[in-house]
């Protein structure tokens, strides 16, 4: 499977494709075309998530940090369970492709 094929240029909502799953683990491809978390919304997840940006550009904000983290292709980030975070921005001019691995902390 080629993860950068057939990318939509505009989407009404993020497009999530499940790539693999196992015991307490789920691997997804997420395509964003400018989507971001609604104002005031924070993810607060019971499990950990490892994200990798394959293409595009995005900003992730973590609670307690002064500024969002800017991600480009090849940037990865581990988000521990219950670390509140939000997608502050994704590039509206190109598809941003994320790989997300959701898993249970040891």
Residues that bind a copy of itself (CB under 8 A): 1-5, 19-25, 27, 47-48, 50, 52, 54-55, 73-78, 99, 101, 103-106
Q: Of 54 and 58, which CB lies nearer to a copy of itself in the complex structure? A: 54
Q: Of 1 and 12, which CB lies nearer to a copy of itself in the complex structure? A: 1
Q: What is the DSSP letter of 84?
A: -
Q: Of 39 and 48, which CB lies nearer to a copy of itself in the complex structure? A: 48
DSSP string computed for 37-61: PPTT--B--SSEEEEEEEES-EEEE
Sequence-ordered list of residues with C-beta below 8 angstroms from that of 30, at least 6 positions apart, any chain = 14, 15, 16, 17, 97, 98, 99, 100
> Shortest gap between Cβ of 71 and a copy of itself (angstroms)?
9
> Shortest gap between Cβ of 47 and a copy of itself (angstroms)?
8
Q: Of 9 and 12, which CB lies nearer to a copy of itself in the complex structure? A: 9
| CA atoms of 17 and 28, how far apart (whole Å) | 6
């Amino acid at each position: 499977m080629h993860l950068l094929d057939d990318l939509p240029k505009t989407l009404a909502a993020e497009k999530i494709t499940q790539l693999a799953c196992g015991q307490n683990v789920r691997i997804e491809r997420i395509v964003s075309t400018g989507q971001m978390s609604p104002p005031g919304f924070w993810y607060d997840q019971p499990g950990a998530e490892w994200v990798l940006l394959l293409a595009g550009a995005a900003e992730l904000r973590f609670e307690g940090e002064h500024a969002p983290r800017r991600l480009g292709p090849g940037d990865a980030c581990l988000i521990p369970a219950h670390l509140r975070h939000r997608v502050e921005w994704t590039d509206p001019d190109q598809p941003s492709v994320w790989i997300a691995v959701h898993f249970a902390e040891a």
